[in-house]
Amino acid sequence: MKRLLDLPTPQRRAIDLVKEVAAEKDCHPYLVGGPVRDLLLGRSAIDVDLTLEDGSSTLARALAKRVEGRVRSFPQFLTYKVTAEGLPEIDIATARKERYRRPGALPAVTAGRLKDDLLRRDFSINAIAMDLDNGALHDPADGEADIERRVIRVLHDRSFLDDPTRIFRAIRLATRLGFTIEPHTASLMREAIEGSAFDTVAKERLWRELFLAMDEPDAPAVLATLVAQGALAPLFGNREHEELRARLERVGAQLAQQPEADRYVLYTGVLLRGDASPVDFEGSGFSQKRARAVVEIANEFPRVIESVGAAETDAERFRIYRGVTAEMLTLLAAERAGEGVHIERFREFEKFKLPLRGNDLEVPGGPHVAQAIERTRVAVWNGEIPPEEARSYARKVAKRLLEDAR
Ligand code: ATP
Ligand code: MG
């Protein structure tokens, strides 16, 4: 286990400050959930998530004052977020009890004891608290043993029915940590999926979970497992196919080289392969533009890859590239060995500018001016003429175009 002393500086400073301010205000904060799990696993990049039975607002405000930061309050969740320059975000919550009045709906929340707060959680490994006063662990669900066994286990048999989004969380966490889903938990999960538990959950919440899966370091494995388990069927039917896993992995590898690409659009397009339509995106929050890019990837990819395969010159390739979205280009680079080099050249070509303006040509104005400059740009890019001849070349072309038009 990593000790608090071993944490990287910003987290350590945050915890030290919390302890100081808590002592002054006579509050008793616990580190809970993800960070305790991660410390027990020897990871040190932890979130600072705290829970208190009493005094969370006192601690949040006093802490914000001490660090000259800001406190935001989320009354419906009984939580506060403190942010300040040079510190990680600090989450401070009141220990709470939850009651699910209806499966799949958000629970009713009331203040509770630490133990209630731990036992309302998703998995035993996420239900451990560490007392910041003395480092003692509170572990009512025996999560530490499950961390040692490397298993994900729910705390009661109704867990996935109360909140089916925990199915996404279980698969995400198991993949990230290299844990297995304990057999009884796995059978509860299958029962919930087969019993259509997801039908009780708002689509928006499922999409949010899906996007979180796409943010994972090993997103392709998480997504492939979600599909194999039938967890995405409520969003867009069953789209499993033989090539899926390999294709997701190639996209993942491409994204590692091109992290600025739109991963949500790319992964969704690959998941939807075949016949996507706008109803498939209900609840996703995709803008029209991004939804169109997803549909293009899902529906047009076979046609595009075929035409790219038939292209013989840069001019032909570039014409195809110009007609598709940036995400389609990323997918092409992922799917076709050797295509990436051409696409890279195309991107450079698109960025390539001549220091030449219409006025520099000293010819009468009109559409021929822009055409001449574009042709010159292509000619300089291809090395047909040296850059210093760009102006005279463009002028010649413009004059010729003007004459042809007469
Ligand atoms: P991550 O490293 O992804 O942040 P995490 O376990 O901290 O993992 P969060 O989404 O930050 O996950 O949630 C914080 C804690 O809140 C979890 O550790 C878990 O105890 C609890 N939690 C989150 N979502 C649920 C849920 N759907 N049902 C029950 N408890 C949950
Ligand atoms: Mg967290």
Residues with CB under 6 A from ligand 1: 33-34, 47, 121-122, 126, 163, 165-166, 169
Mean pLDDT of 334-362: 90
Alpha-helical segments (H) within 2-150: 9-25, 34-40, 56-66, 114-119, 143-149
Q: What pLDDT score does 196 carry?
A: 93
pLDDT of residue 8: 80
pLDDT at site 321: 95
Question: Is the pLDDT assigned to residue 147 strictly greater than 90?
Answer: yes
**Does the pLDDT at position 3 exceed 80?**
no
Q: What is the pLDDT of residues 352-395, one digit of tens each?
A: 998 888 888 888 888 899 999 999 998 998 889 999 999 999 99
When mean pLDDT is compared across 53-57, 277-281, 327-331, the lowest value belongs to 277-281
pLDDT of the residue at 78: 87
Cα(230) to ligand 1 centroid in Å equals: 22
Q: Which domains does the chain have, with CATH numbers?
A: 1-147 (3.30.460.10), 202-351 (1.10.3090.10), 352-405 (no CATH)
237 pLDDT tier (thresholds 50, 70, 90): confident
Give the whole-angstrom CA distance, residue 78 versus residue 93. Answer: 6
Residues 117/127, Cβ–Cβ less than 8 Å = no
Please state the atom number of ligand 1 nearest to the C-alpha of residue 49.
Answer: 14
The stretch 148-174 carries a mean pLDDT of 98
The CA 126 to ligand 1 mean position distance, Å, reads 7
pLDDT at 184 over 90: yes
User: Which protein residue has the closest C-alpha to ligand 1 atom 28?
Assistant: 122
CA distance linking residue 156 with residue 159, whole number of Å: 6
* Average pLDDT over every residue of 82-96: 95
Mutation test of ligand 1: which of 49, 116, 126, 208 has the most ligand atoms closer than 8 Å to its C-beta? 126
Pocket test for ligand 1, best of 122, 166, 222 (most atoms within 8 A of CB): 122
Is residue 239 predicted with pLDDT exceeding 90? Answer: no
Q: Residue 2: pLDDT above 80?
A: no
pLDDT score, position 399: 92
Please identify every residue whose CB atom is under 5 Å from ligand 2, which is an ion.
34, 47
Distance 34 CA to ligand 2 centre (A): 5
Specify the ligand 1 atom closest to the Cα of 166.
27
Tally of CB atoms within 10 A around 307: 14
